[in-house]
Structure 1
Amino acid sequence: MPKRIDHGARREEVLAAAVRVFARKGFAASRIDDVAAEAGIAKGSVYLSFDSRDALLKAAFESYAALAADVLADLGSGPALDRLATLVRRIVAMLAAHPDHARVLVDLWASGQPLDMAAVYRDYRAVIENLLRQAREEGALRAGIGPEHAVVVVAAVEGCLLQWLVDPELPIADLAGPVIDVCVEGIRA
């Protein structure tokens, strides 16, 4: 009897292998052969799940975008600045838990690949802008804080991410607190 293959599970295995390879070698230097070897399958088996290296890259990006969307989806209830602190903690935790995705994201950002990374940033900023608006309505913000501060919050987290990728000894998981101190407590009324 032939071995039954769960094509959905195989696709996820191939995608996970591609993310590891792209993170280690960079997208430009990675080949389908590398992904197949990482997954422990034949090169042709990769093509059963993805028709090209670009399709793998797109799926890796979509996987990261889905992780990001999950972080943004439910921040709970309570004061807006508390939810902003929760968002910062969750983003940092997600990045720390998925370092290969983070490396691929930076590689994509640096290479100018035609993926809509701006949409991911717009989504982050929109959630943060909304939290800032709510915090203003709650009387929790100091004077002069506006929607442009959402860019600074994202930049603080992304700056920590970039430094961690360059210097893996940096304890990324410990940086949520300092980012909250500066970007949340620093704007509190």
Structure 2
Amino acid sequence: MVETAKKFRRRAEARPDEVLDAALAVFVEKGFAAAKVDEIARQAGVSKGLVYLYFPSKEALLEGIVRRALAPIADDAVNRLAAFEGDPRDAIAMLLTVVCGQLSDPARMAIPKVVISEVVRFPAIAAMYRREVIDKVRPALEVMLKRGVSAGYLRDIDPEMAIRSVIGPVMAHVALVALFNVETDAGLDMDRLLTSHLDILFHGISAVRP
């Protein structure tokens, strides 16, 4: 009887994650707007009422997906940037390596794909993604770039605008894939993007003249 109770408790504790997994699968297949809670419940193998017990709306489901998968990555990035000392280019390479590595996982890539696809029709989704991910990392990255300028590692750049050059190509690559299905011959190819982006970011695109 005790063992049965433990199994039931473990099952109950796992259900929110099972619901989020099902929601992400349905959002990717149907799109956020077209997805129905009935479909999510069926995919998760639970009742519609149980879905609403944990998540009162589709927006809450998407927010739960982002918080579970991406918010911890953003929090870790903020901590790493705050603790980093030395050449900020090393920290940028580290940060982008982590981001591109995470996005190489189809399950994680599906999240920004859903967000980017739906932000125009559902601005609340954009606000949530900004709050949970972008607004955490952006200030920390800006502070680190300012420190890099003060320490002489970087020339006198505009840190606020430089951030866009750091994260912009990754977001553009994801958007090209998510919205326009523009992939490379090797598919998403995040490793190749990372290598190219860091090379251009740190060295520019102009040929070295004698």
Please, what TM-score do these two structures have when normalized by structure 2? 0.76
Map 1:82-161 to 2 at 5 A: 82-97=90-105, 98-115=108-125, 116=127, 117-119=129-131, 120-161=133-174
Equivalence map 1:162-173=2 (5 Å): 162-165=175-178, 166-168=181-183, 169-173=187-191
- Give me the whole-angstrom Cα distance separating, in 1, the residues matched to 2:103 and 2:115: 10
Deviation at 1:33, TM superposition (A): 1.5
Single out whichever of 7-16 and 50-59 deviates more from structure 2: 50-59
Q: Give the match's secondary structure for 2:123.
A: coil
From the CA coordinates, give the structure whose radius of gyration is larger.
2
Unpaired runs of at least 5, structure 1? none
Q: Deviations over 1:78-114 (max 9, x none)?
A: 4221111111111111222211212122134333331
Percent identical among aligned pairs is 28
Match of residue 69 from structure 1: 75
Counterpart CA distance in 2 for 1:149 and 1:156 is 12
Alpha-carbon shift at residue 35 of structure 1 (Å)? 0.9
| TM norm structure 1 | 0.83
Aligned positions, number: 186
Counterpart residue number, 1:4: 8
State the Cα distance separating 1:178 from its structure 2 match: 1.3
Q: Could you list the runs of 5+ residues in structure 2 that have no partner in the other structure?
A: 205-210
Residue 44 to residue 146, structure 1, CA distance change in 2 (3 Å): closer
The more displaced of 10-19 and 144-153 is 144-153
CA-based RMSD of the aligned residues comes to 2.4
Q: Which moved more, 1:93-102 or 1:68-77?
A: 68-77
